[in-house]
Chain A
Amino acid sequence: MTNSIAEIKDCKLIFLIGGNPTEAHPIVGLEMKKALRKGCTFIVADPRQIWFAQHAKLYLPVRPGSDNWLLNAMAHIIIAEGLENKEFIKTRTEGFEELKSFVKNITPEKAEEFTGIPAEDIRQAARLYAKSEKSAIFYTLGITEHTCGTDNVRTIANLALLTGHIGKSSTGVNPIRGQNNVQGATDMGALPDRMHGYQYLSDPAVVEKFEKAWGIKLPRTQGITSPTMFERMNKNQFKALYVIGEDPVMSEPNQNYTINGLKNLEFLVVQDIFLSETAKYADVVLPATSFAEKDGTFTNTERRVQRVRKAVNPIGNTKPDWQIICELSNRMGYKMDYPSPKEVYDEIASLAPVFAGINYARIESNGIQWPCPDTKHPGTKFLHEGKFTRGLGKFFVLPYRAPAESPDKQYPLLLTTGRTLYHYNAGTMTRRSAGIIHKTNDCFVEIHQSDAGELGVFDGEMVKIATRRGEITARAEVSEKVKKGVIWIPMHFVEAAVNKLTKDAYDNITQTAEYKVCGAKIEKI
């Protein structure tokens, strides 16, 4: 997030696109509800009539995969009606003329054809967003989990650059992160191309610094991402995988493909707190402790590094992940010797300027938001004030790219997936919690009543949902919540794993899978 959670309540306009905070990020949802009570205008673009859609000034029922049209058409209106922030464009951005000539032809009428949103509503959305004094965009995986996910994010950024709605309090571009420490895992360089603190291996100075600090020679070969690893596994060109705290069988798209890949491995190690679906294929399973049994830090969606504290002793004969990794490393001949996570954090801070000012003593009562370059620095509430990381903000010209698989005659419905309030991801934790399973404990498929009518499907009936990759059975929830032609299934239920259905097609830059669009059909059982 470029802004902080505490700034949400003071937003004057919130443009929420591809996110459902009341369910997936409930406490951010509460902050947005505060803003709503204070008169904040909401524009909500989503294929489902989520809570905020029902309370929005403008609800844009966007067809999944067509966000590009909506966003570029909004840019078209902003420029055509002279609502752009000329001063901001002149002093803080580059590439405006290219964008201007590109969006000239992206009219709201054309966008209506692709998005299903009335052209007049797109106009209205653009005007409201541009004119408000404090406009903030919030998005989540509805924007990123597409083959054009990166394009979508950049098209969002175009709107913020056009209007200057960035780099100010309660004004910015805010992806809300889905997992407790997804921000931290990225910050810590658990990625093939960079070390922690966004220090890229393409920079020889970075390589030299870490070789000196760690006392080794760093590998010079390009690392590969998890989708590429699965591709190689499926081609029998990858030998071993060590999976820590993740259940790719449940969370990767196209489950059959994932399982085939894992089966082809010579050696699979899984480290987790439960015997996950992935662990069933492992050669060795290492039992880890839960967050309640260890010390450390998580970094939240507003870049706040916060303490995690040990409350109970490890259950059974389990060990915290950090200790297991150290013991493995020592056995493999690279010495890792830390008395506690505190010393690990000190090393992290000593090797990355953006975290240099953070240590356990400073985050004892409240966390600190990075960038925090020294121990006197209070942390950074919002980003991009006065200057962008790369200098000038760049406009991107991004024409529409269709999803990898759209509905067709054989699979006429558009399947999109997501999370619910009650369950979390693969469900390994929440499905073992009594209060949560009391409220909901089975998989369902949301379908528009007119589609259900055509299929002769009744509310509550069990139906079969199939795609080119597999099929599952789930309870039909018939209503007008989801857009006509679209069906929606949550991802939490192992007995009806929606990732048996999703397509293994990926964004060309981030390699995030297209969980949000594929062709599907529903059959009565």
Chain B
Amino acid sequence: MVMIPKIKVNIDGKTIEVDKGKTILQAANSTGIRIPTLCHDSRLEPFAACRVCMVEVERGTSTALVTSCNTEIADGMVIRTDSEKVLKTRKMVLELILSDHPRDCMTCEKCGSCELQDLAYQYGVRESQFFEEPDGGIIEDENPVIQHDTSKCILCGRCVRICAEVQQDYAIDFKNRGFETQTGTPFGKPRRDTTCVLCGQCVSTCPVGSLVEKQAVGMGREWDFKQVKTTCAYCGVGCTMYLNVKGNRVVKVTSKAGSVPNDGNLCVKGRFGYDFIHHPDRLKHPLIKKNGKLEEATWDEALNLVAGKLGEIKAKHGPDNIGVFSSSRCTNEENYLAMKFTRAAIGTNNVDQCART
């Protein structure tokens, strides 16, 4: 193991020891001091675009404002995260960001989980002296899963960077200049015709309501959902994800940074492949074949028939004429019970599953 040397820094009057090479933001977080951020995502390289994370660092007799997300700590550094200068500047930065952001929180999908809304609330930024009517709007795109509203974009670049750094798909980027700046696909092409794989990683990192899950629009806000932590049912990676439930319906699928083993990342199947849960084609009743046609039956009818018939075949031909296919799609508990059922209830070792196929 390579030992990382420790260095001492002072944050808000508290001296702490931190691994060399950490940023001020990481050092502060490790000691429980929260510095607000907008363009930061732990999955991405620091970008220092939003300037919300500015802190004051002593430099000789004067002080300097630096962005904490991309400034490495140095031995003996003295940092203030909550000085008057910091708070005043942060408020100004928020006003500047809000100058080009619609004030329609009451109808926004992200209301309640919007990082910009939370900061405006925390710092009491109600008006912006620079306010302009934001331009842009919802981009027309036939894809049914990602909705992009350019008017709400704060140009933090998280979507662009997650697509480039993490996914390495390079499907979206910044375009135009100044107030006209937007993010989007090359030449505004539909996502289907670009390198976009509809993974929705851009949605997962957007701090505001610019990129949202299209199928969940109008279905509720974060406080409406029960978030149930579970494991993805597609491939064998086993991503930890949250089913966002309202009523008896899975409305969307999300994950969280730090989740094992996926660190908040999900693919197109994990994030958007959940429609099958409530699909009208789902089997809803037991079926029994009568005159060549499968007809609805009760559980008692179906289970009695299966138990009776398996018992009959066992008695007549012996248990080794019966086989059970358990499933790589079912839980461990179900696989265990299936093999126990085969051996103990039927009395054969003829149990197998789709690991071979």
**What's the Cα separation between A185 and B325 when bound, in Å?**
11
| Residue from the list A225, A288, A439 in contact with B192, Cβ < 8 A | A439
Q: Which residue of A lies closest to B261 (CB)?
A: A5
Q: Which residue of B lies closest to A247 (CB)?
A: B354
Q: Is the CB of A239 within 8 A of B317?
A: yes
Q: Is the CB of A422 within 8 A of B352?
A: no
B113 at interface (Cβ–Cβ under 8 A)?
no
A187 at interface (Cβ–Cβ under 8 A)?
yes
The contact string, 1 if C-beta is below 8 Å from chain B, for chain A 198-241, is 00010000000000001010110111111101000000011111
A76 at interface (Cβ–Cβ under 8 A)?
no
User: Which residues does chain B contribute within 8 Å of A182, judged by CB atoms?
Assistant: 236, 328, 353-355
The contact string, 1 if C-beta is below 8 Å from chain A, for chain B 159-203, is 000000111100000000000000000000000100001110000
Near B by CB (< 8 A), chain A positions 83-120 give: none
A33 at interface (Cβ–Cβ under 8 A)?
yes
A310 at interface (Cβ–Cβ under 8 A)?
yes
Name the distance in Å between A182's Cβ and chain B's nearest Cβ.
4
Q: Which residue of B lies closest to A214 (CB)?
A: B344
Q: Is the CB of A313 within 8 A of B357?
A: no
User: Which residues does chain B contribute within 8 Å of A193, judged by CB atoms?
Assistant: 349
A322 at interface (Cβ–Cβ under 8 A)?
yes
**What's the Cα separation between A41 and B248 when bound, in Å?**
48
Stretch at the interface among B60-68, B90-98, B263-271: B263-271
Q: Is the CB of B286 within 8 A of A286?
A: yes
User: Which residues does chain A contribute within 8 Å of B274, judged by CB atoms?
Assistant: 292, 433
Name the distance in Å between A97's Cβ and chain B's nearest Cβ.
34
B356 at interface (Cβ–Cβ under 8 A)?
yes
Q: Which interface residue of B234, B304, B321 has the most chain A CB atoms within 10 A?
A: B234
| Residue from the list B142, B168, B327, B356 in contact with A512, Cβ < 8 A | B356
**What's the Cα separation between A178 and B237 when bound, in Å?**
8
The contact string, 1 if C-beta is below 8 Å from chain A, for chain B 279-315, is 1011111111100001000010011111101110100
| Residue from the list A36, A315, A367, A430 in contact with B269, Cβ < 8 A | A430
A336 at interface (Cβ–Cβ under 8 A)?
yes
Q: Is the CB of B349 within 8 A of A192?
A: yes
Q: Is the CB of B324 within 8 A of A244?
A: yes
| Residue from the list A229, A240, A336, A513 in contact with B352, Cβ < 8 A | A229
Q: Is the CB of B276 within 8 A of A429?
A: yes
Q: Is the CB of B165 within 8 A of A37?
A: yes
**What's the Cα separation between A280 and B352 when bound, in Å?**
21
Task: From known contacts A434-B215, A438-B143, infer whether A300 and B238 are also in contact, taking CB-CB under 8 Å.
Answer: yes
The contact string, 1 if C-beta is below 8 Å from chain B, for chain A 265-291, is 011010011110001101111111011
**What's the Cα separation between A237 and B318 when bound, in Å?**
12
Near B by CB (< 8 A), chain A positions 336-394 give: 336, 341, 344-345, 347-348, 366-367
User: Which residues does chain B contribute within 8 Å of A464, judged by CB atoms?
Assistant: none
Q: Is the CB of A246 within 8 A of B322?
A: no
Q: Is the CB of B238 within 8 A of A435?
A: no
Task: From known contacts A221-B320, A325-B334, A344-B333, infer whether A316 and B284 are also in contact, taking CB-CB under 8 Å.
Answer: yes
User: Which residues does chain B contribute within 8 Å of A201, judged by CB atoms?
Assistant: 349
Near A by CB (< 8 A), chain B positions 226-251 give: 226, 228-240, 243, 245, 248-250
**What's the Cα separation between A321 and B317 when bound, in Å?**
27
Task: From known contacts A304-B238, A318-B284, A329-B345, infer whether A292 and B277 are also in contact, taking CB-CB under 8 Å.
Answer: yes
B337 at interface (Cβ–Cβ under 8 A)?
yes
Q: Is the CB of B330 within 8 A of A311?
A: no
**What's the Cα separation between A368 and B63 when bound, in Å?**
48
Q: Is the CB of A196 within 8 A of B236?
A: no
Q: Is the CB of A180 within 8 A of B236?
A: yes
Q: Is the CB of B269 within 8 A of A438?
A: no
User: Which residues does chain B contribute within 8 Å of A436, judged by CB atoms?
Assistant: 198, 268-269, 272-273
Q: Is the CB of B230 within 8 A of A307?
A: yes
Name the distance in Å between A315's Cβ and chain B's nearest Cβ.
5
Q: Which residue of A lies closest to B243 (CB)?
A: A311
Name the distance in Å between B275's Cβ and chain A's nearest Cβ.
4
Task: From known contacts A201-B349, A438-B198, infer whether A312 and B248 are also in contact, taking CB-CB under 8 Å.
Answer: yes
Q: Is the CB of A244 within 8 A of B334?
A: yes
Q: Which residue of A lies closest to B197 (CB)?
A: A421
Name the distance in Å between A522's Cβ and chain B's nearest Cβ.
25
Q: Is the CB of B269 within 8 A of A273?
A: no
Q: Is the CB of A176 within 8 A of B236?
A: yes
**What's the Cα separation between A185 and B335 when bound, in Å?**
6
B340 at interface (Cβ–Cβ under 8 A)?
yes
B131 at interface (Cβ–Cβ under 8 A)?
no
Q: Is the CB of A239 within 8 A of B321?
A: yes
Task: From known contacts A305-B332, A424-B234, infer whether A222 and B356 are also in contact, taking CB-CB under 8 Å.
Answer: no
Q: Is the CB of A309 within 8 A of B215?
A: no
A455 at interface (Cβ–Cβ under 8 A)?
no
User: Which residues does chain B contribute within 8 Å of A318, judged by CB atoms?
Assistant: 282-284
Q: Which interface residue of A26, A36, A428, A512 has the most chain B CB atoms within 10 A?
A: A26
Q: Is the CB of B145 within 8 A of A434?
A: yes
| Residue from the list A33, A253, A307 in contact with B231, Cβ < 8 A | A307
B323 at interface (Cβ–Cβ under 8 A)?
yes
Q: Is the CB of B275 within 8 A of A334?
A: no
B347 at interface (Cβ–Cβ under 8 A)?
yes
User: Which residues does chain B contribute within 8 Å of A223, judged by CB atoms?
Assistant: 348-352
User: Which residues does chain A contribute within 8 Å of B329, judged by CB atoms?
Assistant: 179-181, 245-246
A298 at interface (Cβ–Cβ under 8 A)?
yes
User: Which residues does chain A contribute within 8 Å of B233, judged by CB atoms?
Assistant: 180, 290-291, 298, 308, 429
Q: Is the CB of A240 within 8 A of B336?
A: no
Q: Is the CB of A226 within 8 A of B325?
A: yes
A301 at interface (Cβ–Cβ under 8 A)?
yes
Near B by CB (< 8 A), chain A positions 28-66 give: 28, 30, 33-34, 36-37
B125 at interface (Cβ–Cβ under 8 A)?
no
Q: Which residue of A lies closest to B302 (CB)?
A: A284
User: Which residues does chain B contribute within 8 Å of A33, judged by CB atoms?
Assistant: 166-168
User: Which residues does chain B contribute within 8 Å of A409, judged by CB atoms?
Assistant: none
Q: Is the CB of B272 within 8 A of A245?
A: no
A406 at interface (Cβ–Cβ under 8 A)?
no
Task: From known contacts A182-B354, A312-B277, infer whether A229 and B323 are also in contact, taking CB-CB under 8 Å.
Answer: yes
User: Which residues does chain A contribute within 8 Å of B198, judged by CB atoms?
Assistant: 435-436, 438-439
| Residue from the list B144, B307, B324, B341 in contact with A438, Cβ < 8 A | B144
User: Which residues does chain B contribute within 8 Å of A6, judged by CB atoms?
Assistant: 260-261
B14 at interface (Cβ–Cβ under 8 A)?
no
Name the distance in Å between A110's Cβ and chain B's nearest Cβ.
32
**What's the Cα separation between A267 and B317 when bound, in Å?**
13
Near B by CB (< 8 A), chain A positions 60-84 give: none
Q: Is the CB of B306 within 8 A of A322?
A: no
Name the distance in Å between B185's Cβ and chain A's nearest Cβ.
14
Q: Which residue of B lies closest to A233 (CB)?
A: B323
Mind listing 21 A-B residue pairs with CB under 8 Å? A4-B261, A37-B165, A185-B326, A223-B348, A223-B352, A245-B330, A273-B276, A290-B233, A296-B331, A297-B231, A300-B261, A306-B231, A316-B283, A316-B285, A321-B334, A322-B337, A331-B304, A429-B273, A433-B275, A435-B145, A436-B198
| B-to-A contact residues, CB < 8 Å | 142-145, 165-168, 192, 197-199, 215, 226, 228-240, 243, 245, 248-250, 260-262, 265-270, 272-279, 281-289, 294, 299, 302-307, 309-311, 313, 317, 319-341, 343-357
Which 3 residue pairs of A and B lie closest in terms of their CB atoms, listed nearest first? Answer: A223-B349, A316-B284, A300-B238
Extra 12 A-B pairs, beta carbons < 8 Å, given A274-B281, A422-B268: A188-B326, A188-B339, A251-B357, A284-B305, A296-B332, A311-B230, A317-B285, A329-B344, A329-B345, A341-B333, A433-B274, A435-B273
